[in-house]
Amino acid sequence: MGVFFDNSKALLYCDNDVLSAVNLFMKRLLPISWWLAVALLAAPLSAQKPLAALPAMGWNSWNHFAGRVTDAEVRSAADQLVSTGMRDAGYIYVNLDDTWQGQRDSQGVLHPNARFPDMKSLADYVHSKGLKFGIYSSPGAKTCGGYAGSLDHETQDAGMYARWGVDYLKYDLCSFADNMRAARQQHPEDPMAEFTLMISAYRKMGAALKATGRPILYSLCEYGIDEPWKFGPGVDAQMWRTTDDINDTYARMMEIAYNQVGLEKYAGPGHWNDPDMLEIGNGGMSYDEYKTHMTLWVLLAAPLLAGNDLNTMSAADKGLLTNREAIAIDQDALGKQAARVWQRGDFSLWSKPLTGGRTAFGLINNSWQTRNIPLDLNQIGFQQGAAVHDVWADKDLGRWSAIKVIQIPKHGAALYVLSNP
């Protein structure tokens, strides 16, 4: 314990009894009390482990089921996450999106509609599978689907979510845009009136969720309009949509991916950019296009929320969604989002730093033909060459020191992890 102070001089002036008591304290009790203090300090620190230390992974009902979703489908998604191995690959959130809401009663309590007879029992079911349960609302009076939002009921709704056992809330701007327009009309002198009102609405729910004492991941959805990557952390959110909705087309998926360029500095443990949910398995893209979708999303450290019908998932789509190494890139503890190193005409190179001095690279062929794309490791910081691992082929390619030409099919992608052992 000499690191703290030197006790030798103090001991010179003490009689023997006092000396031995002091000695006992210094030798026996002080070390114990020191460790006790460390333990007491460490306990609250571990309890404060941030939500979403890694990008959230799970399934969401919207992309496939939209407004048709029922209790049975959510339970079935939970079952399938387990039986397909997706839960064990990391997909742990089962998120019920819009259209679960019924009416508020005279006390203001919002009841689910007839498709969700007992939300607590649904949450319990999801939990019984070793999964977490997510739900959806809006700061406005209405959700995007026209169902009841949380306006003026934030604390009440947050408390109800906590009692149900909700672990995740997607909070979607929707009709709150009407309130923002009204604020602008009421305060023509204030150019920030709409923005200020929106921030206060998101902050209100963030505070209400926190006040429940239950760790509920808070996911903002305002389509990236007001740069939520800048205000999200300040309203206690852990992730925020950076774009308007994805759809199941290659064009839209690529447009969203390209719009992520420059946002990499806003991503990190506990705060993630969300380029929207996955469309893999919904049938609108080819296998190579879905591979590109997964490649880009894992490089972007995006939340991975599958949006397909897990009951009818093909082996190929399951292979893309559960590829262990691709997921490890997304979930790398460094928490870096890839930057686009270059875009040359219709192909691009993306790079994501990983733990252990490794780097993940994605080559994307946006053209309409198979292309031979040269990859020069010199240009991407590996002057001495590097050991190369092909993620999609699950193959070590040995050490590369020169320029390699990589063949990539139309709308396809290659994903590599480079290291210098």
Could you list the residues that contact ligand GLA (CB under 6 A)? Answer: 62, 97-98, 143-145, 172, 221, 245
- Look-up: residue for tokens 């893999």? 280
Best CA proximity match to 297, nearest among 57, 51, 42, 10: 57
Q: Which is nearer to ligand GLA, 95 or 323 (CB)?
A: 95
- Which of 79, 226, 244, 245 is flagged as catalytic? 245
User: Does the annotation mark 274 as catalytic?
Assistant: no
Q: Which is nearer to ligand GLA, 274 or 332 (CB)?
A: 274
Cα–Cα dist 6/188, whole Å? 67
Minimum CB–partner distance for residue 261 and ligand GLA (Å)? 21
Q: Which is nearer to ligand GLA, 65 or 266 (CB)?
A: 65
Minimum CB–partner distance for residue 144 and ligand GLA (Å)? 3
Q: Where are the alpha helices (DSSP H) in 84-170?
A: 86-89, 119-128, 154-164
Neighbours of 162 (CB within 10 A): 18
Minimum CB–partner distance for residue 245 and ligand GLA (Å)? 5
Q: Which is nearer to ligand GLA, 90 or 134 (CB)?
A: 134
Say if residues 115 and 100 touch (Cβ distance below 8 Å). yes
Cα–Cα dist 290/240, whole Å? 23
Q: Which two tokens stand for residue 415?
A: 């994903």
Query: Across the chain, how many H-helices and E-strands are there?
Result: 15, 18
Say if residues 135 and 168 touch (Cβ distance below 8 Å). yes
- Look-up: residue for tokens 């929106």? 198
Q: Which two tokens stand for residue 50?
A: 């941030």
User: Does the annotation mark 245 as catalytic?
Assistant: yes
Q: Which is nearer to ligand GLA, 78 or 305 (CB)?
A: 305
Minimum CB–partner distance for residue 276 and ligand GLA (Å)? 7
Minimum CB–partner distance for residue 164 and ligand GLA (Å)? 19
Q: Give 255's Cβ-side CA count (13 Å radius).
A: 10
Cα–Cα dist 80/64, whole Å? 15
The alpha carbon dihedral of 334, 336, 342, 348 has a sign of positive
Cα–Cα dist 384/218, whole Å? 44
| Cβ-proximal residues to 102 (8 Å cutoff; 6+ apart), any chain | 110, 111, 112, 113, 114, 148
Q: If DSSP codes are grouped into helix, strand and coil, which group holds residue 355? A: helix
- Which of 71, 98, 172, 248 is flagged as catalytic? 172
Q: Which is nearer to ligand GLA, 227 or 245 (CB)?
A: 245
* Most distant pair of Cα atoms in the chain: their distance: 92
Q: If DSSP codes are grouped into helix, strand and coil, which group holds residue 369? A: coil
Q: Give 348's Cβ-side CA count (13 Å radius).
A: 19
Q: Which two tokens stand for residue 207?
A: 């505070």
Q: Which is nearer to ligand GLA, 245 or 288 (CB)?
A: 245
| Cβ-proximal residues to 322 (8 Å cutoff; 6+ apart), any chain | 84, 85, 86, 89
Minimum CB–partner distance for residue 97 and ligand GLA (Å)? 5
Minimum CB–partner distance for residue 135 and ligand GLA (Å)? 11
Q: Which is nearer to ligand GLA, 70 or 365 (CB)?
A: 70
Minimum CB–partner distance for residue 207 and ligand GLA (Å)? 23
* Residues taking part in catalysis: 172, 245
